[in-house]
Amino acid sequence: MSRATLYRRSAPPLASRPRAPRKPPPSALSDAERQQVLDLLNSPPYQDLAPAQVWARELDEGRWWCSESTMYRILRAAGQSGERRAQATHPARTKPELVADAANQVWSWDITKLRGPVKGVWFHLYTVIDIWSRYVVGHLVAAYEDGQLAEALIADAAARERVNPDQLIVHADRGAAMMCKTVTQLLTDLKIGRSHSRPKTSNDNPFIEASFKTLKYDPTFPERFGSIQHARQHCEAFYTYYNHEHRHSGIGLHTPASVHHGTAGQIREQRQHTLDAAWAAHPERFGRRRPQPPRLPDRAWINKPDNHDADQSTDPPVTMQPAAES
């Protein structure tokens, strides 16, 4: 055995040097600041809202605490990062392809059932939503599903929104109320185009389905309604909140009313001023990227074509089912 081998076997192991504690990056919040953010997220006005909602509302009030992703990290560290609500999808003849780049170009409507006071009793919620702004332009709660009620709802919404002839397309699925002659005749008389989903394909009507899920997964939504008056009062209050307070992730965390009535651009400028002030005060917390508020989408699609170039300047085609001739 060589001397080198003996030396390697007998030599004591080298002692590892203790590592110095890692310094937090300059963008990191202090422990006190993290606790302030956690207290904000758990405060009564915000305890049932997602961090994106809290971030947008505080920004609209002129207050910036940290980034939205930091809010999520703080909740994760506190063991509070569970989902607030679930999302569900359903499996998908000619695919409808609709696009809107302004309010009152494409509406979507449907009827959903609400549980009544006892088993077997249901109320029916009719809702019409603008797909570009997510603004609920009309709704009603009735004891039954009827085409004449749907006709009156759409007519009232069109009059309230001052819809011009050939301006609007109304999209719906293929339920009895949606396909009835009264609704078809109304759309013909008002020169409103109509479009329908493919059979058993709720993905063809995503905006209205998403609005119903927002309604039913809201923490204030009851398991049952005691009466039709109760259901009407709840839906009226909820849609007032949804239109004027709820910051929608699909429209740059603005309220549907703000987008629908054209004030979102001004609010986005105010958000930018708040972020610019935060950047000037704490540039180290943003890395190399200057903060910007979420952008408003240019268009809203139902079934966007796979080969569509989003940057093209020409208007994309809209396929729809023409209104029946009178």
Asked if 107 and 126 count as a contact pair (C-beta separation under 8 A), the reply is: no
**Distances in whole angstroms, Cα of residue 209 to Cα of each of 126, 169, 204:** 12, 18, 10
**Distances in whole angstroms, Cα of residue 112 to Cα of each of 39, 41, 127, 278, 284:** 37, 32, 8, 44, 49
Residue 136's beta-bridge partner residues?
129
Asked if 242 and 211 count as a contact pair (C-beta separation under 8 A), the reply is: yes
Q: How far apart are CA 109 and CA 102, in angstroms?
A: 18
Per-residue pLDDT of the chain (326 residues; tens, 9 = 90+): 555 555 555 556 655 666 766 777 777 889 999 999 999 998 888 888 889 999 999 999 999 999 999 999 999 998 887 664 444 555 446 788 899 999 999 999 999 999 999 999 999 999 999 999 999 999 999 999 998 999 999 999 999 999 999 999 999 888 888 888 888 898 999 999 988 888 877 678 889 999 999 999 999 999 999 999 999 999 999 999 999 999 999 999 999 999 999 999 999 999 999 999 999 999 999 888 899 999 998 999 998 887 655 444 333 333 333 333 33
Number of residues that this document lists for the chain: 326
pTM: 0.73
Q: How far apart are CA 296 and CA 229, in angstroms?
A: 37
The tokens for 112 are: 């959903």
Q: What is the CATH number of domain 98-251?
A: 3.30.420.10
Q: Where are the domains of the chain?
A: 31-77, 98-251
Q: What pLDDT is attached to residue 252?
A: 95
Q: What pLDDT is attached to residue 95?
A: 83
Q: What pLDDT is attached to residue 118?
A: 95
Q: CB-hemisphere CA count at 13 Å for 280?
A: 6
Asked if 211 and 86 count as a contact pair (C-beta separation under 8 A), the reply is: no
Burial class (CB in 10 A: 0-12, 13-18, 19+), 176: exposed
Q: What pLDDT is attached to residue 265?
A: 94
Q: How far apart are CA 241 and CA 215, in angstroms?
A: 11
**Residue with structure tokens 């078809």?**
184
Backbone CA torsion sign across 198, 199, 202, 207: positive
